Structure 1
Amino acid sequence: MTDPFVVIGGDAAGLSAASKFAREAPDRDVIVFEKGKWVSYAHCGTPYYVKGTVERLTDLLSLSPEQAAERGIDLRRNHEVVGVDTDAETVAVAHDSETFSQPYGDLLVATGARAMTGPIPGTELDGAFTMHGLDSAASVRAALSEPGEFAVDTSIEYVDTALVEKYTDWEPPERVAIVGGGYVGVEMAEAFQAHNIETHLFQRSGHLLPPFGEAVGERVARQLREQGVILHLDTAVEEIVGNRDERVTAVAHDGGTTDVDLALVGIGIRPNTALLADTPVDLGYSGAIAVDEYGATSVNRVYAAGDCAEDRHAVTGEPDWVPLGLTANRAGRAIGQTVAGDPSLVGDIAGTAVVKAFDLECGRVGLLDHEQASAAGFDPVSTTVTAGSRSGYYPGGDDTDVTLVADRNSGRLLGGALVGEDRAAIRIDTLATAIEADMTIDELERLDLAYAPPFSPVWDPVLVAAKVLNGQLE
C-alpha cells in the first residue's frame, strides 16, 4: 500500500495509536519504527521492580512484539528513524548499518523523552544510573544483588545482556545517593531502603515533590526521615566522583562530599524532538511539539503524542507539557482513530498525578503554584486542612492533608493536592473531575460524595477543605 500510517516510537502513545488504527482501518498498513528493543512497557513500575515488589522484568511489558503482530501492526524494532522529509512525505530509517526511505500517508511522532543528566559531570561512570528504561532497572537490581545471585533472563532476547551483566558480580552497595527529590527520587528511596542500604537523597530546593506543593513535600520529608532516608534539602549536587576504574565513589555537593557506592540521577526529562529540527513542524514554548486538539502538528498529516508533545491545559486553556502515562495512551488512541477517519479529541490535561512514599499516598492536580496561577490571569487563594479519612471511631483511618487553590474572583477550582496513608491518592480523582467540569469551590462543597464509616467520614476531607476555602472566598 502507498499510504501507510507510520509511527515513530513503540511505547505508550505509538502502540496505542497503531492498535486503534489497525482495528478501525484494516485496509491500510500501519508501520511502527522503534529504535530500541523494548516496546510498550510500564516505565512507572521500574522502581517497584528494583524494590522487588514486581518479581520479573517481563511483568512490566504491556504488549509483546508477537501480540502487536497479531493486531496487524508491522512493528520493526532496532529501526531508528533518522530523518523526516515532510515535503516528500518520507522518513529515513537506519537498520543494520543501512538506511532506507519509507513513504507515509500519515505520520505520528511518538519519540518520548530522555532522562536529564546535565549539568552534572560524572553521570557516565559505572554505578551512575538514571531510572529510564527496563535495562536501567535490571542493571540497578543486579547491582543491589549479591554477586552471582541476579541472573539475566536470557530468554528475553531484547535485554541488554552486556550492560546488565556488568553489575552482576558487584558487591551490593552500602551507601547510595539519589539526586533529585521528584517522583523517581522518592520512589527509589523506598526501593533502596527495602535492600537495607544507607540512602542519601539530595534535593536542590527546600522541599520534596515540588509539583505537589509544600504541604505534601513536608509530610513526605517526615516520612522518609522516619524510614531512615538521609535528606539533604537545599543541596545541589555538583559532580558524581569516580576512581581510576571509572566507578562511582562519591557525590560532590555544595555542602561538601559524601562517599557512596552508587548514584541514581532523577532530575527530570526532556522531550525528544531533535528528529524534527530540519522540518517545518513547530515546537511549543516548552520545547515539546506543538499540537492542536486532535494531536495534529503544524504540518499536514503529521501528528505528535506522548512525552514529546504538548497538550492543552484544562485550567488555563493554554498549551502545556506534563508528560504522564495516561496522557500518552489516551492521545495515541485518539490519533489512531482520527487517522482512521473518525476525528477524535485527544482531551485536555490537568497534570493529575499520584505517587507513593513508603506508606504515604500523594496526589495532585491543576495549578497549585500561586505564581503560575497569577501568570495565567487568576487571583489565587488557597487553604490546607487536615481531616480524618474515615469516621473517627472506625479503625484504620489517618489524617489526610488537603490543599485547594481557587480563583478569588470566580470561585473556580484551580488545583488541589492530598497526602495521607489511607486512600488519599484516589481522592484526587474527585478534584480532577471537578477541574474538568470547571466547577467552583461552592459547587465542589455541595457534591454528594459517598459516606460510610469504613470509607469516609460524613464530611469527606475534600468537602472539608472546600467548605473552609469557600468561607475564605465569601
Structure 2
Amino acid sequence: MTDTFVIVGGDAAGMAAASKAKRDASDLEVVVFEKGEWVSYGACGLPYYVKGEIQSLEHLVSVTPEEFREERDIDLRTGHEVVAIDPDAKTVTAEHDGGETVQPYDSLLIATGAESVVPPIDGTDLEGVYTLGSMSDGKELREYVARARKGESLQQPDRGPACRYLEDCTGSVGVVGGGYIGIEMAEALAANGFEVNLFQRGDRVLKGFSEATSEAVADHLREQDVAVHLDTEVETLSGDERVEAVVTDDDRIEVEMVLLGTGVRPRTALAEDAGIELGETGAIETDAYRETNVPDVYAAGDCAEATHVVTGEPAYVPLALTANRHGRAVGQTVTGRPTEGGAIAGTAAVKAFDVEAARTGIIDHDEAREAGFDPISETITAKSRAGYYPDGGTVTVTLTADRDTKRVLGASLVSEYGEGAVHRSHAVVGALEEGATVFDLENYDLAYAPPFNTTWDPVLVASKVLSGKLR
C-alpha cells in the first residue's frame, strides 16, 4: 500500500517539502491542502509589486499549481481549508466549496505560515486600513495605488515635498511600524507620490539591527521626505467608515490610507487544537528534524521554531530561506533520509530607497546577556571600494563578540545601495556557523579588487578594531 504524505499549506515550506518528497519517492502519494488560490509565491516581493517595479502578481509565483499537478504529480488542492487534525485517526479534515473531505495520512507537515499582527487600537477595521501578508493583500494595495494615481483618492491633503515623484501628490498615508514591511512600503508609497508618515512606537526603526544602522536608515528616510515619527504611540485610527486620520499620543495627522506593518505571528491554532505543543516563542516546537511532540507530524516554515546557531536555543525568525530549507529537509525525512535542515542565524536584509542594511546573529547586548554572553561591540565606517576607484561609498559595520571567548556573536551593516552591506554580511554568517572568534574572522581571506572592495574589507576592519579592544 502506498504511503501518503499530507501537507497543510502551499507556500515555501509546504511546496518545498512536497517537491522534494515526490522527487525522492515517486510512488509516494503527496497531497497538499491550500486554502487560497496562490501557492509557491514570493511574498517578500509584494512591496515591489505595490511600488510598480514588478508588473504582475504572477511574476512572484515560482511554480504554478498546474506545474505542480501535471509535471510533479503532486495532488495540490487549492481552495481547501484544513479545519481539523486527528492525530489518533491520522486524518485531516478540509472544507471546500461547501463540502468536506477527510484525508488519511501516514506523515503530516503543518506549514500554515504566519499572519500579520493587527495592533490593539481602535479603527483597524475601517476601510482604507491594509496589511501586507498575502497575495490578495498585495493586489488590493496595488489597486488602491492605481486609483489614487488616477485622482480617485477620497482625500487630497495639502501637497508637500514628497510629491516630487509625480506632477501631483496622490495623498497622505500612514505606515504603522518601522520594521521590514513598514520601511519597504514607505518606499513603495513615496515612489508613487504619497506623503508618507511612518509611525514607530520605539525610539528607532529596525529594532533588530544596530543603533548605527537604525539611525542611518531613519536619516535616509527623512532625506526622502518620509516623516519619521519615533517614540510615537498610535492610539486610534479615526474615521466614520473610512480612515481619515492617525491619532497619536500627541498629534492628529490626516491620512487617506494606513498600512499596518507591525509584524507577524505564527498560525498555530490548527496545531494547538490537535494537541501539538508550542515552544517558548509561541511557535510550534519541533526537534532537529522538525517533528513535533506528535509522532509523524512535522512543522516547518513561519509557523515553527528553529534553533539559533549562536545560542543553541529555540528562536522564531520567520524568513523565506528557513522555510525552504526546513521544508526540503522534511521532504527528505519522510522518504527515509532523516535530515535536520540546519540552525538559523536570523540573517536578514532590507532596502530603504538608496540604502541597504543587513543583520545576522545577536547584536543586542541585553539579548546576548540573557543567552549567557558578555557582549562587546565596535562600530566602524570604511570605504566600500578602493579610494582611487570612482563612484565608491562607505559601509558601516557594527560587530559584536563575546568578551570571554572572543566568539563572534553577530553584526549589523549599512551602506549605500549597491555598496555591499548585504553581501558582506555573509562573511559574518560563515563565522557564526563555525563558531569563529574575532581573531579568526580578522584573518578571513576575502576577495579584493578595486571595483568591488578595499584591500581590507570593512568586515575585516571591524574585526581588527574589535580584536584590538579584546587584546
Pairing of 1:1-400 with structure 2 (within 5 A): 3-69=3-69, 70-146=71-147, 173-243=170-240, 246-400=241-395
Secondary structure of the corresponding residue to residue 331 of structure 2? helix
Secondary structure of the corresponding residue to residue 140 of structure 1? helix
Deviation of 1:218 (Å): 0.1
Q: 1:457 pairs with 446, 454, 457, which one? A: 454
Aligned partner of 2:159 in structure 1 is none
Aligned partner of 1:154 in structure 2 is none
The structure-2 alpha-carbon separation of the partners of 1:87 and 1:259, relative to structure 1 and needing over 3 Å to count, comes to same
Deviation of 1:149 (Å): 6.3
> What letter corresponds to residue 131 of structure 1 in structure 2?
L
> Does structure 1 conserve the Cα–Cα contact (< 8 Å) formed by 2:148 and 2:171?
no
What is the CA RMSD across the aligned residues, in angstroms? 1.6
Deviation of 1:197 (Å): 1.0
CA–CA distance in structure 2, aligned partners of residues 278 and 57 of structure 1? 34
> Does structure 2 conserve the Cα–Cα contact (< 8 Å) formed by 1:2 and 1:105?
no
Aligned partner of 2:467 in structure 1 is 470
> What letter corresponds to residue 400 of structure 2 in structure 1?
V
Could you list the runs of 5+ residues in structure 1 that have no partner in the other structure? 151-166
Deviation of 1:239 (Å): 1.6
Deviation of 1:444 (Å): 0.1
> Does structure 2 conserve the Cα–Cα contact (< 8 Å) formed by 1:122 and 1:241?
yes
Deviation of 1:43 (Å): 0.5
Deviation of 1:396 (Å): 1.8
> What letter corresponds to residue 306 of structure 2 in structure 1?
D
Aligned partner of 1:159 in structure 2 is none
Deviation of 1:40 (Å): 1.1
> What letter corresponds to residue 213 of structure 2 in structure 1?
V
> What letter corresponds to residue 106 of structure 1 in structure 2?
S
Deviation of 1:280 (Å): 2.8
Deviation of 1:147 (Å): 6.8
CA–CA distance in structure 1, aligned partners of residues 149 and 208 of structure 2? 40
CA–CA distance in structure 2, aligned partners of residues 168 and 175 of structure 1? 10
The C-alpha deviation readout for 1:337-361, integer Å capped at 9, x for no partner, is 1101111111100000011011111
Deviation of 1:148 (Å): 9.9
Deviation of 1:431 (Å): 0.6
Deviation of 1:213 (Å): 1.7
> What letter corresponds to residue 9 of structure 2 in structure 1?
G
> What letter corresponds to residue 47 of structure 2 in structure 1?
P
CA–CA distance in structure 2, aligned partners of residues 168 and 100 of structure 1? 44
CA–CA distance in structure 2, aligned partners of residues 326 and 426 of structure 1? 16
> What letter corresponds to residue 78 of structure 2 in structure 1?
R
Deviation of 1:169 (Å): 9.6
Aligned partner of 1:434 in structure 2 is 431
Secondary structure of the corresponding residue to residue 328 of structure 2? helix
Greater shift in the superposed pair: 168-177 or 80-89: 168-177
> What letter corresponds to residue 4 of structure 1 in structure 2?
T
Deviation of 1:397 (Å): 1.2
Identity of aligned residues (%): 53
CA–CA distance in structure 2, aligned partners of residues 100 and 138 of structure 1? 30
Deviation of 1:3 (Å): 3.0
Secondary structure of the corresponding residue to residue 244 of structure 2? strand
CA–CA distance in structure 1, aligned partners of residues 155 and 30 of structure 2? 44
CA–CA distance in structure 2, aligned partners of residues 35 and 123 of structure 1? 24
The C-alpha deviation readout for 1:271-325, integer Å capped at 9, x for no partner, is 0000022323211001100011111111110000000000110000011110000
Secondary structure of the corresponding residue to residue 413 of structure 2? strand
The structure-2 alpha-carbon separation of the partners of 1:146 and 1:84, relative to structure 1 and needing over 3 Å to count, comes to closer
> What letter corresponds to residue 39 of structure 1 in structure 2?
V
> Does structure 1 conserve the Cα–Cα contact (< 8 Å) formed by 2:281 and 2:315?
yes
CA–CA distance in structure 1, aligned partners of residues 138 and 113 of structure 2? 18
Secondary structure of the corresponding residue to residue 397 of structure 1? coil
Secondary structure of the corresponding residue to residue 93 of structure 1? strand
Could you list the runs of 5+ residues in structure 2 that have no partner in the other structure? 157-168
The structure-2 alpha-carbon separation of the partners of 1:149 and 1:199, relative to structure 1 and needing over 3 Å to count, comes to closer
Q: What TM-score comes out, normalization by structure 2 length?
A: 0.94
CA–CA distance in structure 1, aligned partners of residues 369 and 90 of structure 2? 43
Deviation of 1:2 (Å): 5.8
Deviation of 1:255 (Å): 1.6
Q: What TM-score comes out, normalization by structure 1 length?
A: 0.94
The structure-2 alpha-carbon separation of the partners of 1:147 and 1:397, relative to structure 1 and needing over 3 Å to count, comes to closer
